[in-house]
Chain A
């Protein structure tokens, strides 16, 4: 089988409207965990996981399903308070597409994001996220 995943191949990600996902770029793990915890408490999102995308780049996924509007509200709240330009850009993309996307497969030299922290309930949106992530990873590995 030919290797379809070359350096120029597109990136595979998971996109959803009702799962709260944050792309926490340019911040260390402690800051990422701080913001995730703050959002969890303010919006009662039950639980979260943090995935490490690369050095000082983290993703956070929350467990409670929310409406599209609430999702935008949450991401905007974090983006404004944290003054994180990358997160503002992520919010803008979310507003354009009306769904948020997180990378799942490797990108260039970066490996696929891995879970580094778990907190609270993981039975709803996180469970579905991890199942779908597994599917994407299987598809990706089948192409290599």
Chain B
């Protein structure tokens, strides 16, 4: 039950209603008594005040009892936040013209599903993080707007097979 005070009810009226409710009067009787005392009150406000004093919860799903044309416009349910803390990681070894030696590279994208799909597609088409900054974390939208801010042209490659030298065994 909301704790806000009902608007337009004088303290005297409120006090009278509380007394009547505690005595177990019905809403009709309370309203008649109030009118006799010159404390007339709108029925809607009286009922709200009575419910508040009795501590009754409002009936669930009240909107369905109201004709559609009188219903209060309700905003659509809030969308899930775009950035939920989870990222899509796109990672492997990469080479560029400036750095022909493969290095470990990774993009971490966050954002909406469509943007993520487009960003990954763009990354797969041959944009890799720079060797100087191989771990890039950015929003998918920002990457789509300016991919060369976060990476450069290059290739995703497999990890090179490095065979350890038999003489260089650790002791």
Interface string of A102-129 (1 = CB under 8 A from B): 0000000000000000000000000011
Partner pick for A136 among B88, B106, B125, CB 8 A cutoff? B88
Taking CB atoms, residues of chain A closer than 8 Å to B88 are 12-15, 132, 136, 139
Please tell me if A7 contacts chain B, counting CB pairs below 8 Å.
yes
Is the CB–CB distance between A15 and B92 below 8 Å? no
Determine, out of B57-65, B79-87, B160-168, the stretch whose residues face the partner at the interface. B79-87
Residue from the set A5, A96, A132 with the largest chain B CB neighbour count within 10 Å: A132
Contact residues of A: prevailing secondary structure? mixed
Chain A residues 1-34 with CB under 8 Å of chain B are 4-5, 7-19
Query: Among the listed stretches B33-41, B45-53, B115-123, which one makes contact with chain A, having 4 or more residues with CB under 8 Å of it?
Result: B115-123
Knowing A16-B86, A135-B116, say if A10 contacts B92 (CB, 8 Å).
yes
Chain B residues within an 8 Å CB radius of A96: 135
Q: Could you count the A-B residue pairs with CB atoms below 8 Å apart for me: how many are there?
A: 72
Q: Are A18 and B121 in contact (CB under 8 A)?
A: no
Determine the distance from Cα of A139 to Cα of B17 in the docked complex, in whole angstroms. Answer: 63
Shortest beta-carbon distance, A92 to chain B, in Å? 13
Which of B1-9, B22-30, B141-149, B150-158 contacts the other chain?
B150-158
In terms of DSSP, what is the predominant structure of the interface of chain B?
Answer: strand
Residue contact B85 to A9, C-beta cutoff 8 Å: no
Q: How far is the CA of A139 from the CA of B120 in the complex (A)?
A: 8
Residue of A nearest to B156 (CB): A10
Q: Across the two chains, which residue of chain A brings its CB closest to B158?
A: A8
Size of interface on A: residues with Cβ below 8 Å to B: 28
Chain B residue contacts of A13, Cβ below 8 A? 88-91
Residues of B within 8 Å of A12, CB to CB, are 88-90, 120
* Least CB distance, B8 to chain A, in whole angstroms: 44
> Are A99 and B87 in contact, CB atoms less than 8 angstroms apart?
yes
Interface: B113 (CB within 8 A): yes
CA distance A10 to B84 in the complex (A): 23
Question: Which of A7, A11, A16, A138 makes the CB contact (< 8 A) with B90?
Answer: A11
Judge whether A16 and B158 touch: CB under 8 Å.
no
- Which residue on chain B has the smallest CB distance to residue A2? B125
* Beyond A14-B87, A97-B135, A139-B88, 10 extra complex contacts between A and B, CB < 8 Å: A7-B158, A8-B157, A8-B158, A10-B90, A12-B89, A15-B87, A128-B84, A128-B86, A132-B84, A139-B120
Instruction: Return the 3 tightest CB-CB contacts between A and B, nearest first.
Output: A10-B92, A13-B89, A15-B87
The interface of chain B, by Cβ under 8 A from chain A, is 84-92, 106, 108, 113, 116-117, 120-121, 123-125, 135, 155-158
Could you list 14 A-B pairs, sorted by A, with CB under 8 Å?
A: A4-B121, A4-B125, A9-B124, A10-B124, A12-B120, A13-B88, A13-B90, A16-B87, A97-B135, A101-B89, A128-B84, A135-B116, A136-B88, A143-B121
B-contacting residues of A (Cβ < 8 Å)? 4-5, 7-19, 96-97, 99, 101, 128-129, 132, 135-136, 138-139, 142-143
